[in-house]
Structure 1
Amino acid sequence: MSGANRHYVLAAGGTGGHLIPAFALATELERRGHHVALITDERGANIPGKPDFLPAHILPAGRFGKNPLNWIKGLRAIGQGRDMALRLFESFEPSAVVGFGGYPSLPALLASTSAAIPSVLHEQNAVLGRVNRFMAGRVEAIATAYPEIRRLKPKHAGKVHLVGNPVRGEVLQLREEPFPAFTEDGLLRVLVTGGSQGASVLSEIVPDGLAMLQPALRSRLQVTQQCRPEDLDAVRERYRNHDIPAELGTYFEDMAARLADAHLFIGRAGASTIAELTAVGRPAILIPLPIATDDHQAANAREMAKKGGARMIRQENFTAKELAKQIQAMAQNPQSLATAAHAAWNCGRPHAAKELADLVESFGGDTLMDVIRTTEPIRDIVGAPSGAAA
């Protein structure tokens, strides 16, 4: 196969967190003249944003819950998925397979490593996920979004390439746009989202927290908030009672445009959320999902919080009073908010898609390229206390 026109397979779990960076990489590889295919599950095949050129192959992928009785069924599904992936590889002849985590990526990676096809992992979070942890010893390279990754064994540190987390093109285009003007008497535009499914805790706390701001700030609020359908009416009533103008919806198709207009973000700390906030440079108040596996959302938030681009509030401490306190501290004057925005911007890794494509493209062609190796130590801190960031 010629170096100018190769085939690559991307394998990703069926959530936006895994698939958004996979779509971004697929777009970059296709732009370079390569053929790309996607392996995922039923959910992933229907996620909005999949490029038209990208064929999706749905493979069975077992899940392993706490009940051992389900493990046999899960192992059988993984075996079936692995066999189907091998048949796909025979006809597609990929130069490399890239796994983005999630159980649907496991059969493809088991197939690629057994067939001696070069394999790469991409980890979006600051904690190595279960599938990527399982496959770390079998792959050629591990691309990361953060300089420090928990649950990665030190013996695998030599495989690590810090590239960042690829984001959607329409978001990346906003990186060179200035932070929206925020003056002493201008509007303070706040964007609130709880991830793809919304978050009831934000619906319960945010309206009351905004209402507790000092009058000079509260009177300038303009809020956009994503809510769960079942929360919509109650949240609308709360904002009406507080006399705070708010646009509410269960899903906003033009989220990139809303992010461009926002002065402050309030929401969860998923990998894609952090990547987009830092790509654009938007200050944030982050409330990590407390049930996230290995507390990975708190780990995701730490770099941005440590550098001054965000405040992190643990959900058990997330009260209206605490939220108002943190907003007041960040937006007490126009310069403090702009400074936080710049700190967030400095955390961004805008070339993530290109650098991940460089790494992936190096298989099946020239020798492995040293694409931004991380210079910070990779520590295996399994079981270490999660700590807090402010």
Structure 2
Amino acid sequence: MIVLTGGGTGGHLNIVKCLLESAVKKNLDCIYIGSENGQDKAWFANEERFKTKYFLSSTGVVNQSKLKKLKALKHILKLSFKCQKIFKEHSIKAVISVGGYSAAPASFGAIFAGIPLFIHEQNSKSGSLNSFLKPFSKSFFSAFEKEVIPYPVGEDFFTLARERKELKTIIFLGGSQGAKFINNLAIKLAPMLKEKGVKIIHQCGREDYELCEKAYKELNINVDLFAFHNDLASKMEEADLAISRAGASTLFELCANTLPTIFIPYPYAAKNHQFFNAKFLQDRALCQIFTQEQCQNEMTFLNSIFTMNLKYISQKLQGITQKNGADLMLERVLNSL
């Protein structure tokens, strides 16, 4: 039996989901250790394919005062001892961390207990926890490293991939929690896109759903608006172009779906990792990147929307990632035990 740990946001949790699906195919039993905070419980509290789940009172350490950091670290240490008891109870053979603050207790617990720790880093710039734990890990997986493991992406994104040729539909993606800037941009551009006959799909997040719904009604524009969708691949399939944040999970889902994208990286992401995630594609001439400031020039932004070589980018995106990222990760883990 193995432990899958980590989360906090949809990007981390998507990887847990992919690894769980791969483990089920291999008849490999898993337990999940996450946090009471963040999105962990919303994703997995009712997930019956885990043998059991533990949601601990873990919290983040980054951007805290020195005193709060010390208190948080002391609490993580306490929780790591609790995790060691969990490992012993379930005869755990390995711990796979996908990062995020909710991965800290089980990751430290694995090190203290002498259980092999495997880490997946989702971003081009490693997070603080993963950077610290990397020297203590048995293996470190990343789609951005020299020794590449394909990023774990749900099979439906590959299955619903298609070549884009003509701009008929745009999808705005703000990530699992939505993004106010992208929401406001979508509403601002909506009249001009409607004038050009372009349909809009908009993932706005739960917090801004009512505001966005009201704004589109006032504009008298019919939009496929949703807060969150369990079948995002089908929404991507409808689109010919995406305007999106650049979280790693979203980026590789877009690649798997061969959907050309204009990325607007979240400017306050740790180590500016969203910019460097998108730069991975920009360096291959397979996306465009706009800062939030650059988006203020509406004519330049609109020109980019309507002049992207959709067919070329869509074709080339097919070679960026592959289906079996989670399977390869688990095979590496099992072969090294």
Give the alignment's TM-score, normalised by structure 1: 0.79
- Post-superposition offset of 1:234: 4.9
Partner of 1:52: 48
Once the two structures are superposed, the pairs formed by residues 108-147 of structure 1 within 5 Å of their partners are: 108-147=106-145
The letter of the residue matching 1:174 is L
Is the 1:288–1:298 Cα contact (8 Å) retained in structure 2?
yes
Give the alignment partner of residue 171 of structure 1, picking from 141, 151, 157.
157
Give the alignment partner of residue 283 of structure 2, picking from 306, 309, 317.
306
Deviation per CA, 1:64-111: give whole Å up to 9, x if none: 243122123212311221011100111212221111111111111111
Is the 2:151–2:321 Cα contact (8 Å) retained in structure 1?
no
- Post-superposition offset of 1:237: 4.4
Structure 1 unaligned regions, length at least 5: 1-6, 149-160, 331-335, 365-390
Partner of 1:369: none
Deviation per CA, 1:246-292: give whole Å up to 9, x if none: 22232234322111111011111111110100111100011000111
CA distance in 1, matches of 2:226, 2:218: 15
Partner of 2:24: 30
CA distance in 1, matches of 2:238, 2:321: 18
CA distance in 1, matches of 2:278, 2:232: 20
Partner of 1:388: none
Give the alignment partner of residue 16 of structure 1, picking from 6, 10, 32.
10
Partner of 2:105: 107
Larger Rg: 1
Deviation per CA, 1:333-371: give whole Å up to 9, x if none: xxx21111122222223221111111111132xxxxxxx
Structure 2 unaligned regions, length at least 5: none
Please tell me whether residue 71 in structure 1 is matched to residue 69 in structure 2. yes
Greater percentage in helix: 2
- Post-superposition offset of 1:195: 0.9
Please tell me whether residue 255 in structure 1 is matched to residue 232 in structure 2. yes
Once the two structures are superposed, the pairs formed by residues 178-193 of structure 1 within 5 Å of their partners are: 178-179=162-163, 182-183=165-166, 188-193=168-173
CA distance in 2, matches of 1:203, 1:82: 39
CA distance in 2, matches of 1:203, 1:238: 15
Partner of 1:350: 323
Is the 2:281–2:287 Cα contact (8 Å) retained in structure 1?
yes
CA distance in 1, matches of 2:295, 2:218: 18
- Post-superposition offset of 1:203: 2.5
Please tell me whether residue 326 in structure 1 is matched to residue 304 in structure 2. yes
Return 48-57 or 289-298, whichever deviates more: 48-57
Once the two structures are superposed, the pairs formed by residues 202-217 of structure 1 within 5 Å of their partners are: 202-209=182-189, 211-212=191-192
CA distance in 2, matches of 1:97, 1:254: 28
Other structure's SS at 2:4 match: strand
Identity of aligned residues (%): 26
Is the 1:95–1:363 Cα contact (8 Å) retained in structure 2?
no
Give the alignment's TM-score, normalised by structure 2: 0.90
The letter of the residue matching 2:53 is A
Is the 1:112–1:118 Cα contact (8 Å) retained in structure 2?
yes
Deviation per CA, 1:86-137: give whole Å up to 9, x if none: 0011121222111111111111111111221111110011110111011011
Deviation per CA, 1:276-311: give whole Å up to 9, x if none: 001111000110001111101111111222223211
Please tell me whether residue 265 in structure 1 is matched to residue 238 in structure 2. no
CA distance in 1, matches of 2:56, 2:225: 37
